[in-house]
Structure 1
Amino acid sequence: MSKTYGTGSAAVPALRDVSVEFAAGALTAIMGPSGSGKSTLLQVAAGLDRADTGEIVVGEVELSRLSETRLTLLRRTHIGFVFQAFNLLPALTAEQNVSLPLRLAGKRPGRAAVRDVLARVGLADRARHRPAEMSGGQQQRVAIARALVTRPAVLFADEPTGALDSVTGREVLVMLRELVDRERQTIIMVTHDPVAASYADRVVFFADGRPAGELLRPTAEAVAARMTGSGALAC
């Protein structure tokens, strides 16, 4: 697939003939320097933006063939997305924030289901708390619960620990790892942090809009070494 922003002399290629697959039931990290295309890849793969050419397949559904209405419905029911910013509504409680995707999809959220997903992220006792009454790590856990409440086929995470301190960030990473190991949740995560990437089963490096190599069973030291010196292009 390819994706270019702008036209003519102002055109900026973001993805250049990319062909990459992500394993189900695994945590894959995407890394690369600024402008390498990693965030664009995440947005296109999640159906938040459209590729100019090529196919995007989630499960057995090819996204480019969907109308905007069907694509919106797919995102609400089969795709979860977690951002660096928590994007919680401050006036709502944790359980109300978590239930939003179901309400937007026209479904009546069951309290038991909402409480269950909060328990899965370790916040069973915070259901009635509003964002201002929770720490940053707890707010990100609510955001992850909100993404999981529809039982998505894949969870996309864009710098999910970027706004957290190292201790809180580690707690979130442990939780994501447990979701993969315990529930076989498929997670694709963009990160700049070698420590975060070390929680992944596989790291895919991007440079100049293309995959530039990968690491399996990565360590933080191996990722850092790959990202420094000759950088991701040496993969």
Structure 2
Amino acid sequence: MTKPMLSIRDLRREYDAGSSRVIALDGVTVDLTAGTFTAVMGPSGSGKSTLLHCAAGLDRPTSGEVTLDGVRLGDLDETGLTLLRRERIGFVFQAFNLISSLTAAHNVALPVRLAGRRIDQAAVMAALDEVGLADRAQHRPVELSGGQQQRVAIARAMVTRPAVIFADEPTGALDNQTSRRVLELLRDLATGRGQTIVMVTHDPVAAAVADSVLLLTDGRLVDHLDGASAEAIASRMARAEATC
């Protein structure tokens, strides 16, 4: 059997809320293989962002286990988690999170610089070329459209050749046409480059671009849809929201 790139076992995350406890994740188990594009959906408060944060080492679960590219995250201290995120994980956020004073090329090179490694300008330009922005390498974020900024963020996420790219609502701030371009790019990274992508989204159209959809409700994994259409995903989401 193919070894999963990301393995999540009985993941549970609880938070203190005054005198009570909030269960954000309630025993989630799933395996994601290399080169797959997975969307995570669910009603508001279902635990999808918490799942992403725990899987990416941004938050520690209360119990359970996350293994990413053969590394058990629970075995790492904070320094080890920081190094893992820098070297084996890429992030794409709704707000782009580009540094306004840096050019596109310098933004893409930032993860390499933070890791203390020599910047390979050819790799930076190759990443920008893959997202169709090699000709905008010297432009700062203010000189780029929202879609171009998100594509720079994707280039930044992929420049270190990470094991997994986590995307949190990557099209949430974009118009429909630009969203399609960004989703096509993520789809091509999975199909053409074998990149593993995990994307949190509320949009059934965006989710339909993925290979599969994980549906969370009240912190539990309640469905796993493979190759579903936007209509089928929307219908399943509506049923999940009706039970909340």
- Report the TM range for the smaller structure's normalisation: over 0.9
Q: Which runs of 5+ in 2 are unaligned?
A: 1-10
Return closer, same or farther for 1:2/1:233 CA change in 2, 3 Å cut-off: farther
The structural deviation recorded for 1:232 is 6.2
- Please point out which of 88, 110, 117 is paired with 2:120: 110
- Find out whether 1:66 has 2:105 as its counterpart: no
1: distance between equivalents of 2:179 and 2:158?
19
- Please point out which of 89, 93, 101 is paired with 2:111: 101
**Structure 1 segment 44-59 matched on structure 2, within 5 A:** 44-59=54-69
State the one-letter code of the partner of 2:108: V
Aligned counterpart, 1:28: 38
Secondary structure at 1:56 match in 2: strand
The structural deviation recorded for 1:9 is 2.4
Superposed CA RMSD in Å reads: 1.2
- Please point out which of 140, 145, 148 is paired with 2:155: 145
Asked if the contact 1:28–1:187 (Cα under 8 Å) also holds between the matched residues in 2, the reply is yes
Identical positions, percent: 61
Structure richer in strand, relative to its length: 2
The structural deviation recorded for 1:233 is 8.0
Give CA deviations for 1:141-200 in whole Å, capped at 9, x if unaligned: 001111111100000000000000000000000110011111010000000001000101
Aligned counterpart, 2:240: 231
The structural deviation recorded for 1:124 is 0.9
Aligned counterpart, 1:207: 217
Q: TM-score, normalised by structure 1?
A: 0.96
How many residue pairs get aligned? The number is 233
Secondary structure at 2:19 match in 1: helix
- Find out whether 1:14 has 2:27 as its counterpart: no
Greater displacement, 20-29 / 54-63: 20-29
Asked if the contact 1:205–1:232 (Cα under 8 Å) also holds between the matched residues in 2, the reply is no
- Find out whether 1:182 has 2:192 as its counterpart: yes
Moved over 2 A (4+): 7-10, 230-234
1: distance between equivalents of 2:18 and 2:205?
40
Q: TM-score, normalised by structure 2?
A: 0.93
Aligned counterpart, 2:4: none
Q: Which runs of 5+ in 1 are unaligned?
A: none
Give CA deviations for 1:99-148 in whole Å, capped at 9, x if unaligned: 01001000111111100011111111110000010000000000111111
Give CA deviations for 1:34-88 in whole Å, capped at 9, x if unaligned: 0000000000000001001111000100001101101100000000111110010
